[in-house]
Amino acid sequence: MTLMIKDNPRQIAVEIIQRVFSQKSYADILLEKALAKSNMMLKDKALCTELVYGTIRWKMKLEFIVKRQFRGKWDKAPEPIKWILITALYQMLYLDKIPDYAIVNQAVALAKKNNINGHWGGVVNGILRTFVRDEKTKDIPGHKDKVEALALKWSHPGWMIQKWTDTWGSDKAILLCKANNRRPNFGLRVNPLRTNREDLLEILISQGFDAQFSRYLDNFIIVKKISGLTESEWFKKGHFSIQDESSALVVQLLNAAHEEKIVDLAAAPGGKTFCIAEQVADKADIIACDIHRNRLKMLIRGRKRLGFLRVFPILSNCMMPGLSNSFDKVLLDAPCSGLGVLRRRVELRWHRQEKDIDKIISVQRKLIDQAALLVRPGGCLIYSTCSIQPEENEEVISDFLETHSDFQLERAESFLPASVVTPAGMMRTWPDIHGIDGAFAARLQKKE
């Protein structure tokens, strides 16, 4: 493909989506870099963002509809043409402010601009006009296999639908799919060392943001969009950070105190680390470990922006034999399948494979054993994931407690709202119930 055309939101979206699937890239990272280089107005940046996230979410359904109209071998069509058609279809079905004729004209112009073969403009024009005339009101046809029918209707891989149906039933599976396909809100974590939530809320509303206080956390403000926020002086001066409430609830369960020794394992890019530092007003030593150098650099930049003096980044894994029994609090935000954050990590539903989960669980079990060695008697270990799968969460904790008699589960209701605590006393959030990312955490206390 040609280099990105800086001022065309649809062209940039098509190029980003193509890279997401051809290179298994992260949509948010590609989008951030592309928008930073572009000269687009805010409204065009917003359109580009919507096209990228929305098209990727609904890829399976949209591709099915386009292929139904396509004459010839779909696999032989140029990749840019495929994504031009699919993004155009997304606009027709899910965006209501752009008239169909304008969508068709823009798509045809893009096809000609990506002029691999001169006839593709006509092909795009014919497919889209036929869809507008004959197909737009048609629903996805029924499917003999119920799981495959749900997968196509809600644009999720069949194996995910099957797994959720087996675990919780088809009604719950549908609710999860619906939640994953909604545009998520964004959490702004207020830095109490720089401002307070009342003043920040007033500023946001005065700047035209739809903002309100969090239902779950006293130091959070919820906004529907974040366009322009990271370029604002308040962000640059460290008045707030962007973080989902589910992550901060994990930190609330940790319940850090002044002058404790704390280690955050797998800490980068630093969301939970900085949340802990704010919780203790930068009056505790926090070791922030990560094995990824580039991600650790992001943490270091965040530390500078927020002004913390007692956060100490270290390029390291969980194995620190010289520090056994040293820490009051240990946070292990374990690598996981990410099936709780599919509404936000839009490409993950297509990149994740079912076979990955067993490998991930094996890593989780090793890491929690290593993390336990760092906890002093009387201290506690927080195990957390951004997965909703029991085999990555409750089952890992159950097996851990069976083999570590020196630890016991400390019930979460002493630290968290009752609505996010399970009957077994662990933290669990759901995108369909709580309107935030799906996450899990358990507080494990080491006996004196």
Q: Which is it for the CA torsion 401, 405, 411, 416, positive or negative?
A: negative
Which residue is catalytic, options 177, 289, 336, 386?
A: 386
DSSP state of 421: B
CA gap 19, 30 in Å, rounded:
8
100-113 helix and 9-22 helix, angle to the nearest 10 degrees: 60
Q: How far is CA 132 from CA 96, 107, 110, 140, 231, in A?
A: 14, 14, 19, 15, 39
The DSSP annotation for 47-95 comes to HHHHHHHHHHHTHHHHHHHHHHH--S-GGGS-HHHHHHHHHHHHHHHH-
Beta-strand (E) ranges in 191-310?
211-213, 220-223, 240-242, 261-265, 285-290
DSSP state of 419: G
Give yes or no: 318 in active site. Answer: no
CA gap 2, 262 in Å, rounded:
49
Phi, psi dihedral angles at 222 (to 5 degrees): -110, 130
**Pairing between strand 439-446 and 407-410?**
antiparallel
CA gap 293, 299 in Å, rounded:
10
Q: Which two tokens stand for residue 253?
A: 């369960």
* Positions marked catalytic: 386
